[in-house]
Structures are given as C-alpha cells and as structure tokens.
A and B are shown apart, each in its own frame.
Chain A
Amino acid sequence: MSEAALEVSDLVTSFPGNAGRVRVVDGIGFRVGAGEVLALVGESGCGKTVTALSILRLVPRPGRVEGGRIRLGGRDVLSLGVAEMRRLRGREAAMIFQEPTTSLNPVQTAGSQVVEAIRLHERTSRADARRRTLSLFERVGIADPAECFASHPHELSGGQKQRVMIAMAVALRPRLLIADEPTTALDVTIQAQILELLRELQRELGTAILLITHDLGVVNELADRIAVMYAGRIAEQGGRREVLGDPRHPYTEGLLRAVPSRGRPGEPLAEIPGALPAPDAWPPGCRFWPRCPRVRERCAAEAPGPTDVSPGHRVWCHAVQEDLA
C-alpha cells in the first residue's frame, strides 16, 4: 500500500472541565490510505469534529491536543511551526463544513473567495486564478459558473453554496479532504448529488476523504472503511462491508438496528437505551457499559483492548474478546 494520506495514533484532545481537563478525544487512532474514504461515525458530541479540528490543529482554545501522533502526507503535524502549519492547511488537507449557508463570507462574491483561496497558496495572477475557479465551478456541477462567480452567497441556494465550498476545498488538490457532515444541512435530493460529486472528485483527483457523519446512509454510499466512535474512543473499525454487514460491537449493532428500514414496516424502531453522557461524566472502563446489552463485570473496571475479528476489522469490546477466546 502506498503512503497513507493521514495516520492518527493515540490522539488525545482535552478541554478544561469543572474538575481538571476532560479528554474529549481519548487515544483514538486510524489511518486513511491515499485515495481512500474513511467514515468516522458516531453520535453528536462523541468527539468527531474535535478529531477533525485536531488534525488541522484548529481546536478552539482553551481546548488542546495533549498527545498522540498525526501524520499528514508523511509530515508530523504536531511538530510543525505555525507558519508551516498554515502552508499545510488547504494544500495538504482541506475541510468542508456542515453549514454551507454560513461557511461563505456574506460580503464577498463566491468567485472571489475561491480566487483568494488559490492565491493564498500559489503565486498566480488574478486572471489565471479566475480561470481556474470557473473551471472548478463547472467541475463541481454549478450550472452557470460565470453567474455564480459574481454572486454573493445570499443569492445562491444551499446546494450551490456547498458546491462552492467543495470547489474551494479541492482548488489546491489536497491529499486529504475532511468532510464534516457535508450533507446534513441539505435536502435529500441535493444530498445525493453532493455525495455523487464527492465520489467523482475522490476518484478523479485521488483525494482521500475523511467523512465525518452520523448518517449511516451516507456512510454506505461513500465509505471504503468505517471507524465507529463512541465517547471519545473508537469502538469498531473495519471495511464498510464488514462493519455494516457483520457488526460486532454492541454499539454498532444498536446503531444499525436503529436505522429505519422499509423491510420492517410498522415495527417500532429499535433504540439504544439511555443517552451519550457529557464528556465530564464519561464512565470508567469501557465507556459504553451503562448502555450496553452485553455488559460484563470487567467492563466497568478496565477499558477493552483491540480484538481482531477478521483482517482489518477490529473491535474494542470485552464481550467480543470472550466470544473469540
């Protein structure tokens, strides 16, 4: 396998809480191969976005990355200086946000924002950047690129704005695209189009994508591999088929059961009892045990280590470990 686009290991990011610092991301690790799509799945508040921001070293203060290693395109992100880090952003890794409506500057035209993004990293003329922006707009499926170029964000629809955001993010052909819930704020037909676009771009440009979402439908559409996150840790990780087809972790199983299906009409929707606690109230041991149907005595005492259930499919669960033993 070629060099990974992104390698994260033992990442710890903490925020100050009432009693000392709270580890919102607690020792997670994953790898996104070149041109691969990894979906980071989990409930709201489980640390997905903080993980993404940690990769770009943009965790809002007073939060900070406390430990671990992040390698982006072969470079150690955590040891870079401020200026080097700035050069890396946008060029090596770019990010797409959930809310296209608020992610564009309202007082500048859509085109000029992309032009500035290009000119930020490349010494090129305005005319050249403009030409590239127009062709990017065409590539991301904007119907009238010239019209869109001169439009202010409030004159564009949500889908168009997300396309502009994507154009801006891929303008410098980054190795890694971090898509933080890229379709959550869009309606369903537009969602499908945007996902299709992301897949096309990923194939065409060979861009790896770290897809952050809580929507398993989106995961199924786009992901090559999946990492399921719960309460700041990874619960299960593996190929899309393995994780969705043969989930092992009780949490993943619960998530999949909770997806409404047309195959079971009229049946009440399954749910995972309880709710994800706030980060400062995360239980000791395995963090899922208070809600887990397969809870053991060990679960509250110690955090489970990884268990390989098949090549590339890992689960962090005492019960699964016992099954295999």
Chain B
Amino acid sequence: MEAQVWVNGIVAGLLLGLALAAFRLRSNRLWRDAGRELWRRRRLALLVVTAFVAVALCDSIAWVGGGDSGGDDTLARHRPRSLLDRVFPAEFRERSYSAPLAGVEFYGGAPLDHPGMHLLGTDILGRDVLHLTLRGARVALLIGGLTSLIAIPLALLVGVSAGYFGGRLDDAVFFLMSVLASIPSLLLLITLVMVLGRGPVQVCIALGVTSWVAFARVLRGETLKLREQDYVQAARTLGVSELGIVWRHILPNLTHLVVIHFVLLFSGLVLAEAVLAWLGLGIDGSWGQMIDQARDELAREPVVWWNLAAASAALFSLILAFNLVGDAVRDILDPRTAAERS
C-alpha cells in the first residue's frame, strides 16, 4: 500500500511537471506557434494521448473508503480505490472467463453476477477486462514518463558536459557510451531488473539506464556545434561563466531536441516494457503483462480473444498516437523541415 502512494505521487508529479513545462513554453512565442501547428496537424492523435493521460490521472487519485466500498470484506474496505475504480461498481467481478457482454460464463455456462455488463468480458480470475485495460494506461504512462525522467536528464548531463568541456571528460564519456552500446541492451535490461528487483520503479530505472546512450550521443554532437557559435563566444566576452553559458545558451538551444526525443522515446519505452513483460519481468498491471498472460488463452478451444485484443488495441493506439505526435513534433521543431514548410 506504501508503494501505491509512492506511485501515485510520481504520476501526479510527472503530470504537474509536464503542465508546468507546457505553461512556461506557452509564454514563448516560438513554442506557442509550434503548439498551434501541432494541434492543427495532429488533433486526433493529441486527443487520444490526452484521453490516456486523463484515464491515468483518474486512476492515480485514490483514497480509502467512501461510497460503495465492497460489502463485508474488511480487506477490500481498507484498500484505496481510485477515481477510475469508483466508476465501476464495487465487487465487479465474476468467477472466471466470460465473453464480452455475455450473460453466462464462457466455460460451463454458469450465470454471471453482472450479466451483460462486462463490455470487454472478464479474464481467468473473473476481473473486468475493460477495467484492467484502462488501469494499464497509468502503468504505461508511468513507464514512459518516469523512465524519460531518468534517461533524459542523464543524457543531458553526460552529453552536454562531454560536448562542452571535451578533453578527458569526453574520452571517458565516449568510453562509457561505447561499452554500454556494445552490451546487447535486452541482456543488460534483464540483468538490471534481476539485480534491482521487480517493481515499477526498478523496471523504470533499468529501462532508463539502457536508453540514454543514443540521446546522449546526439546531444554531445549538437553541443559540440553550439559551443562554437558566435553567441557563445559573445557571451564569453561579456564575462558569462562556463556554467552560465551551458545554462543560458547551450541548454535552451537543445530544448527542441529534448522535446522530440521525449515523445519518440516514450513509445519505445512502453514497447520495451511489453517485451520485458513477455519475459516475465514486467510491471504488474501493464498491457505487456496482460498480453503475456493472454498467450496461452489463444490456444484454448473455443478461443479466449478479448483479453489479448483489449490490451493490444490499447497498446497499439497509445503508441500510434504518440508516434504520430512525435513525427509531427519533429517536423515542426526540426529547423531543416521547418524551412521546407515555410
């Protein structure tokens, strides 16, 4: 239950940070224009992403008690239930599989407690699949968000300092990056999860550690270019310190890369978790895990398809929406394609 509070806090903090960043960027004319252009081009994809975020947010606000909390079960009464959980009736479960909107159990045909109410059916334990799928949104956002929060600052720190200060530091960083790049990332990922233990934060750390290298390399190259710019030299002649230059002149000129990379990294991370889940190392409640559990169900006769279909569809639509947004973000922010546009 402690962990639950933790996770809620992280998700809420992430969303708050994102909102703050968006607000700050809005005060800048360039970013406001970019935002408008993005909205014009990718309205649907943005709405899909927003819907997922809203569901995740609803699932992150949880408290104990209140409302119809589940009959006589003492344990259930003391379990925090999120806004999302409260949308569904309490004790909204059956004993086993049931097909979407069915009135009876899938195997055996015993009558259900809630006939015709499970929009996407129930899983092997009788849990409502729609509920599970919606809950997966929060896990997906947690994976993408928290991991980006680990990987991007790490990449910024390493890439920018290597590119800006160069010399020995650059050599050391390059060595480190080469070493990390030479280890098969899946192997490293599995090892890290084994070492750190299973759990949402641990998996995010493992994913973060394996996914910063490519971005750090990009940032290093860009920093190498930026530090030779005239305005950096001009800042030096005005007496700006080295850190001041990094803060005021290098980092702001890398923002577009960070935004582009964040959006593209995000969907990659959600997919990577699905792979981990398939190996049995995923985060509880993720779509990856749902897909993993549904594997055997495909071999049953008659086939249980709704579990797999729901999780896959959710995963697919989130990733497609994110990739579409990412693609547009890159088009809009990348100076090369921006020149073609105008």
Residues of chain A at the chain B interface (Cβ within 8 Å): 56, 58, 86-91, 94-95, 97, 99, 102-108, 116-117, 120-121, 152, 165, 168-169, 178
Q: A178–B238 Cα gap in the complex (Å)?
A: 12
Decide: B253 and A107 in contact? CB cutoff 8 A: yes
In angstroms, Cα B227 to Cα A105, docked, is 12
CA distance A106 to B234 in the complex (A): 13
B234 touches A103 (CB 8 A): yes
Which chain B residues lie closer than 8 Å to A88 at the CB level?
A: 239
Q: Is the CB of B29 within 8 A of A106?
A: no
Select B253's contact among A97, A105, A116, beta carbons within 8 Å: A105
B4 CB to closest chain A CB (Å) equals: 41
The docked-state distance in angstroms from the alpha carbon of A104 to that of B230 is 8
Q: Please name all residues of chain A whose beta carbon is closer than 8 Å to the beta carbon of B229 when the two chains form the complex.
A: 102
A103 vs B248: C-alpha distance when bound (angstroms): 14
**Is B240 within 8 A of A120, CB to CB?**
yes
- B50 beta carbon closer than 8 Å to chain A: no
CB distance from B286 to the nearest CB of A (A): 37
Alpha-carbon gap, A260 to B235, bound state (A): 37
* Cβ 8 A contact of B237, one of A89, A99, A152: A89
A121 touches B239 (CB 8 A): yes
A105→B238 contact, CB < 8 A? no
Question: Are A116's CB and B248's CB within 8 A?
Answer: yes
Q: Is B233 an interface residue (CB 8 A)?
A: yes
Q: Return the chain B residue nearest A116 by Cβ.
A: B248
B110 CB to closest chain A CB (Å) equals 65
| Chain A neighbourhood of B249, CB < 8 A | 105
A97 touching B230 by the CB < 8 A rule?
Answer: yes
B182 at the interface (CB under 8 A from A): no
Residues of the B chain whose Cβ atoms lie less than 8 Å from the Cβ of A87:
239
**How far, in angstroms, from A267 to B236 measured CA to CA in the complex?**
46
Can you list 27 A-B contacts (CB < 8 A)? A56-B237, A58-B233, A87-B239, A89-B236, A89-B238, A89-B239, A90-B238, A91-B239, A94-B237, A94-B238, A97-B233, A99-B230, A102-B229, A102-B231, A103-B233, A104-B231, A105-B253, A106-B231, A107-B252, A107-B255, A120-B244, A121-B239, A152-B29, A152-B30, A168-B238, A169-B238, A178-B237
* Interface pairs A-B: 3 shortest CB-CB: A89-B239, A90-B238, A95-B237
Known: A105-B249, A105-B252, A116-B248. A97 touches B239 (CB 8 A): no
* B230 neighbours in A (Cβ, 8 Å): 97, 99, 102-103
Q: Is B74 an interface residue (CB 8 A)?
A: no
Nearest Cβ on chain A to B25's Cβ, whole angstroms: 11
Shortest beta-carbon distance from B153 to chain A in Å: 20
- Is B253's CB under 8 angstroms from A106's CB? yes
Q: Which of B191-247 contact A (CB under 8 A)?
A: 229-231, 233-241, 244
Within the assembled complex, what's the spacing in Å between the Cα atoms of A109 and B278?
A: 50
Choose among A97, A103, A152 the residue with the greatest number of B CB atoms under 10 Å from its CB: A103
Given A105-B248, A107-B255, A120 contacting B239 (CB threshold 8 A) = yes
Residues of A within 8 A of B234 (CB): 95, 97, 103-104, 165, 168
Taking the closest CB of chain B, its distance from the CB of A183, in whole angstroms, is: 16
B-side contacts of A105, CB under 8 Å:
231, 235, 248-249, 252-253
Distance (Å) between the CB of B246 and the closest chain A CB?
A: 13
Q: Are A90 and B237 in contact (CB under 8 A)?
A: yes
Q: How far is the CB of B159 from chain A (nearest CB, A)?
A: 18
- By a CB distance below 8 angstroms, the chain A residues around B255 are 107
> Do B233 and A90 touch (CB < 8 A)?
no
- 7 additional A-B residue pairs with CB within 8 Å, beyond A90-B237, A104-B234, A169-B238: A56-B237, A86-B239, A94-B238, A95-B237, A103-B231, A105-B248, A178-B237
Taking CB as reference atom, which chain B residue is nearest A101? Answer: B230
Task: Choose one: A99, A104, A120; the contact of B238 (CB below 8 Å).
Answer: A120
**A52 shortest CB reach to chain B, Å:** 9
Complex: A158 Cα to B174 Cα, angstroms: 39
Nearest Cβ distance between residue A173 and chain B, in whole angstroms? Answer: 13
- Min CB distance, A160 to chain B, in Å? 16
A111–B229 alpha-carbon span in the complex (Å): 20
Q: How far is the CA of A55 from the CA of B337 in the complex (A)?
A: 41
Give bound CA distance, A95 to B240, whole Å. 13
Cβ of B169 to closest chain A Cβ, rounded Å? 14
Residues in A whose Cβ lies below 8 Å from that of B236:
56, 58, 89
List B residues 30-48 near A (Cβ within 8 Å): 30
Contacts A105-B253, A108-B252 given; does A90 touch B231 at CB 8 Å:
no
What residue of chain A has the Cβ atom nearest to residue B234's Cβ?
A: A103
A117 to B237, CA, bound (A): 10
B residues near A91, Cβ cutoff 8 Å: 239
Please give me the residue from chain A that is nearest to B252 by CB atom: A107
Q: Which residue among B233, B237, B249 has the maximum number of chain A CB atoms within 10 Å of its CB?
A: B237
